[in-house]
Amino acid sequence: MAHRIAVIGGDGIGPEVTSEALRVVRAAGVDVETREFDLDGARYPRDGEILSDATLDELRAFDAILLGAVGDPRVPPGVIERGLLLKMRFELDLYVNQRPFAGTAPGHAEPHDFVVIRENTEGPYVGEGGVLRRGTPHEVATQGSVNTRHGVERCIRHAFELAESRPARHVTLVHKTNVLTFAGDLWERTFNEVAADHPGISTAYNHVDAACIYFVQDPHRYDVVVTDNLFGDILTDLGGAVSGGIGLASSANLNPARTGPSMFEPVHGSAPDIAGTNRANPTAAVLSAALMLDFLGESAAADRIRAACADLPTGSTTEVGAMIADRVRD
The 10s digit of each residue's pLDDT in 74-94 is 888 888 888 999 999 999 999
DSSP string, 27-77: HTT--EEEEE---STTHHHHHS-SS-HHHHHHHTTSSEEEEEE---TTS-T
Residue 209 annotated among the catalytic residues of the structure: yes
Residue 31 annotated among the catalytic residues of the structure: no
pLDDT of 140: 98
pLDDT of 73: 87
pLDDT of 48: 82
What structural domains and CATH numbers belong to the chain? 1-94+256-330 (3.40.718.10), 98-254 (3.40.718.10)
Report the predicted TM-score, pTM, of the whole model to 2 decimal places: 0.95
Residue ranges in the chain whose pLDDT is less than 70? none
Do 125 and 86 meet the contact criterion of CB atoms below 8 Å apart? yes
pLDDT tens readout for residues 182-213: 999 999 999 999 999 999 999 999 999 999 99
pLDDT of 74: 85
Residue 11 annotated among the catalytic residues of the structure: no
Dihedral sign for Cα 188, 190, 191, 197, please: positive
Do 124 and 230 meet the contact criterion of CB atoms below 8 Å apart? yes
Among 38, 57, 218, 237, which one carries the catalytic annotation?
237
Residue 237 annotated among the catalytic residues of the structure: yes
Among 93, 95, 176, 228, which one carries the catalytic annotation?
176
Among 209, 218, 273, 326, which one carries the catalytic annotation?
209
Do 310 and 43 meet the contact criterion of CB atoms below 8 Å apart? no
Residue 176 annotated among the catalytic residues of the structure: yes
CB atoms under 10 Å from CB of 149, counted, come to 10
pLDDT tens readout for residues 93-126: 999 999 999 999 999 999 999 999 999 999 999 9
pLDDT of 260: 95
Do 277 and 18 meet the contact criterion of CB atoms below 8 Å apart? no
